[in-house]
Amino acid sequence: MAKKYAVRNIRLCTKDCLCLYVCPTGATDTENSIIDVEKCIGCGDCADACPSRAISMVPFDYPPQQQKTDEVIGALRALLRSKSQQESIAAGLPGKLAAAIEKSNHIMAEDIIREAGYMLPQSDNVQVFLRSLLDNNQTEGFPREAVERLIELLSKNMEDDKMSENNTLKNLMTAFTGEAEANRKYTAYAKKAEKEGKLNVAKLFRAAADAETLHALKHFEVAGKIGSTADNLMDGIKGETYEYKEMYPPFVKQAEAEGNKAAVMSFTFAMKAEEVHSKLYKDALENLDNTEEVFYYLCPVCGNIEKFRPDKCSICNVAGDKFIEY
């Protein structure tokens, strides 16, 4: 739902002041009766409480206006021209009736142009119109600054759109992290269930883990985070380097200080393996066009990767025949 804020119609307000009692932030209590947009959190409590229905909740962003066909616009513009001419003629005539007719035609003309594609001040049509005013030569007295300010104020709507896109991007990445975490968690639970012989539960955990992988991959893709393979390698190098240089060293120290030997080992294995990964990524990036087949061997204990099967793991000493070939 679009974010909203409260506005008060002062003509309808009967000063029952219920809005002052219910507002959680004090936004409704102002010396000029205009509800403070900065303070309003859009909860709508004031609008619900107002006995005179003087408060409305209005959105920050309006939906796009209705599309108009060229034919409708053309027919309405012809009528606009006539009403405008009548306004002009009436303006040149004396008396109250002429003054009323001038006003009446202006109001009809406004309504007609509104229906000819100029309903919403925040619409693209209005932006195009305002920008065209700046491009064209204008006579003296043209309020250029007013037009520039209007363009800025009314296109804020579009910037807000971009900001909400950014929020969605943030949400996608949060969801990606959560789903990725759930995938590893369920994989660990599945292994445990297998050990306990609870094979049906293990199956469920594996299926759920795979499901979370699907979600994570989709979120990541929608967030637009997958680049070319060269880009992805560079991102891999960045991530692994950060982990082995910045993230793990203080983690290891902290675990040592706390005497948590298992954590020291877990962090150290990972730190050393990440360094290897980063070097392998660099190597792959340099040989991106190499089509000759390469084999990789993964240490199942510490996560070390070698390009040949070693006698034993250089990080954790596990025997080379345990390595998994890729």
Partner 1 sequence: MAKFVCTVCGFVYDEASGIPEAGIAPGTKWEDLPEDWVCPLCGAEKSEFEKQGGSVTANEEKPKPIMDTPSDMQELSPLELSVLCTNLARGCEKQYKPEETTLFKLLADYFKSASAPAENPNFDKLLELIDKDLKQGIPNANAIASDVKDRGALRALVWSEKVTRILKSLLTRYKKDGDAMLENTGVYVCTICGFIYIGDKLPEVCPVCKVPNWKFEKVEGRGL
Which residues sit at the interface with partner 1, rule CB under 8 A?
7, 11, 34, 58, 62, 66, 68-97, 99-101, 103-116, 118-121, 126, 129, 139, 141-143, 146-147, 149-150, 153-154
Torsion of CA 117, 121, 122, 128, to 10 degrees: 60
User: From the centroid of its chain, how far is CA 257?
Assistant: 41
Nearer to partner 1, 24 or 59 (CB): 59
Nearer to partner 1, 62 or 251 (CB): 62
Nearer to partner 1, 103 or 309 (CB): 103
Least separation, in Å, of the C-beta of 99 and partner 1?
5
Residue 50: name the closest of 7, 24, 17, 83 by CA. Answer: 17
Least separation, in Å, of the C-beta of 27 and partner 1?
14
Nearer to partner 1, 125 or 164 (CB): 125
Least separation, in Å, of the C-beta of 2 and partner 1?
13
Measured distance CA(79)–CA(323) in Å, rounded: 83
Least separation, in Å, of the C-beta of 41 and partner 1?
17
Least separation, in Å, of the C-beta of 70 and partner 1?
6
Nearer to partner 1, 77 or 225 (CB): 77
Least separation, in Å, of the C-beta of 51 and partner 1?
18
Residues 233, 238, 242, 245: is their CA dihedral positive or negative? positive
One DSSP character per residue, 60-99 reads SSPPPPPP--HHHHHHHHHHHHHHHHHHHHHHTS-SHHHH
Considering just the CA atoms, what is the radius of gyration of the chain in Å?
34
Measured distance CA(239)–CA(246) in Å, rounded: 10
Measured distance CA(55)–CA(57) in Å, rounded: 7
Nearer to partner 1, 115 or 194 (CB): 115
Least separation, in Å, of the C-beta of 22 and partner 1?
20
CA distances from 220 to 28, 176, 236 (A): 42, 6, 15
Measured distance CA(33)–CA(293) in Å, rounded: 75
CA distances from 239 to 7, 25, 189, 223 (A): 48, 43, 27, 18
Nearer to partner 1, 96 or 195 (CB): 96
Residue 45 identity: D
